[in-house]
Structure 1
Amino acid sequence: MPMAAEEIKTLIRAGIPDAAVEITDLAGDGDHYAARVVAESFRGLPRVKQHQRVYEALGGRMGGVLHALQLTTAIPD
Structure 2
Amino acid sequence: METAQIEQILQDALKLDEVIVKGDGSHYEVIAVSEIFDGMSRVKKQQTIYAPLMEHIASNAIHALSIKAFTPDEWARNKKLMSLS
TM-score normalized by structure 2? 0.75
Deviations 1:18-61 (A, max 9, x none): 34100111xxx422111101111111111111111111121332
Aligned position for 1:51: 46
Aligned position for 1:5: 3
Gapped regions of structure 1 (runs ≥ 5): none
Which structure: greater helix fraction?
2
Paired with 2:69 and 2:57, the residues of 1 have a C-alpha distance of: 16
- The number of residue pairs the alignment matches comes to 72
**Greater C-alpha radius of gyration:** 2
Paired with 1:18 and 1:70, the residues of 2 have a C-alpha distance of: 17
TM-score normalized by structure 1? 0.82
Residue identity over aligned pairs, in percent, reads 31
Paired with 2:27 and 2:17, the residues of 1 have a C-alpha distance of: 21
**Structure ranking higher on relative contact order (CA contacts 8 Å, 6+ apart):** 1
